[in-house]
Structure 1
Amino acid sequence: MPRITANPNLAEAPDFTLDVYAIARDAIVAHHNITAEAAVERLKAAWTTDNDAKKLAWQQQELADREAAAQREQEEEDQHRNEEPQRNEQNETRETEKKKPKLNSFVANRPIATAIKLRPSRFALHKLEERDYIELSYFTPEGCAEAANNDHAVAEEAFAFSKVNDLVSLRPISAFKASSKVIQDDKLSWREMSI
């Protein structure tokens, strides 16, 4: 049945005595051999019967619309309820991903370096962290090579007490051992300073 667009409860019966309905009236009068007033009554009765059927269909349509709306609302609520844990899980996953350390990207098929780059001694790095004065010779290739050789001489597990901001903490001993081969800055050659 096609959808009813106008509410039949608001419809009013037409005036079947008008000339517009003369053909229908005359046909009923001729077929049933009745008066024009009786034909008008039959037309009103037919219209009322049809309108009552439309009212019933309208009620059923309204009921079906309400049920469909309730079902859609329930489905949306269920979908929202089902999406909520997924959203929470995605947010937790995102938070976990943010907390994970970021790994540097790598180039596939790139050859591995054959030598380890020389680094300054732990003593020099500690002085840098503390923003203390440190001689430049610790950063020359000779100073870094000496640090690499001497780094193995002091056990990495050995610690000493250190005072930082009125707190006592443990630091590796290698961070406190100055090199015995330090060259004063004014004694460095130009070649050592420019490397």
Structure 2
Amino acid sequence: MARVERDPTGDVCPAFEQPEFQAVRDSMKPNPPGEPRSEEEVLRMLRDSWKAGHDKRVEDWNMQVQRDREERERLEREQEQQDEEQAERPEGEGQKIEEDNGKKTKKVYFDENIAVGDTITDRPASYTLNKLKLIEYIELFYFTPDGCRKAQKESRSTASTETWGITQMEGEVVGLQPISALKLSKFVKPDTELSWEEVMLGRHAMIQEMMKLGDEVWPVKVVEAFNTMYAALDAHPMRRQEHGSEATVKYQAHVRREWYDRQARKQGFNIGVINETLLRSMRDEIIDKKKTESLREVSVQGFQKNLYSFRLPNPYPSILSE
């Protein structure tokens, strides 16, 4: 129930007989199919209606006052009980309990029927996981085995001289994190330069880390959409064509980057739906680029051949002929 904002007990019935209520009274006089209501009947109806509403408002107000009184009394009793318990505790124990209440108790998980797996995958760098948690773009290379190993090697080499930086954690909350968790690796390879095998290896690790972060960060339907995109590209007939794998690499690179750019603008799209027109246009661009490079190479080779076969005229023909 909504709270009553003010005490209505002192309200007085309006003077409905005044000229400012004439339009209201006139609108209530028609009474089809009976005789029109008289002025006295209309005034009585208005006053009765106001009184009924006023009585209800007063009743709600009194109930609210009673509830507020009971709530105050309950809080006072709880405070008195806490004060009594605090007074009975040995000195210093109360502070320790308050400190303990502020700490989160960690739980040890154990399953006697499960053993460690046959393999342990390389863990992505802190920088990578931090970006993924913040739903910010991160190169797929960081999730590949090569990317994980190089990032770990970098991390070990800087561990002894680690510095810290300020970063936004959640909402307006800021915190300190190692610089290694915030900086780009010098070994990073752009998505467009990956092989399709590297893409699929990176995709698998990325999906696994998304799932670990849970539905609050990465909703299941979004993770499934990413997985669907890579599965569809991997099985796409174009990959059996010339430059098909290069096209799928380029497609996933640009589309995934576009997805993150849209997220930054609070927009989104289903990345799991393959845009066939866009995919074909990217393959066409690759083919055109290859043709241009081939023509340029042929032109350069032809120029060099002509250059080497060119002979300057002999400036001293008479001397050489003697």
TM-score category, normalised to shorter length? 0.3 to 0.5
Q: Which protein has the larger Cα radius of gyration, Structure 1 or Structure 2?
A: 1
TM-score (structure 1 length as normaliser):
0.43
> Which has the bigger relative contact order, CA under 8 A and spacing at least 6?
1
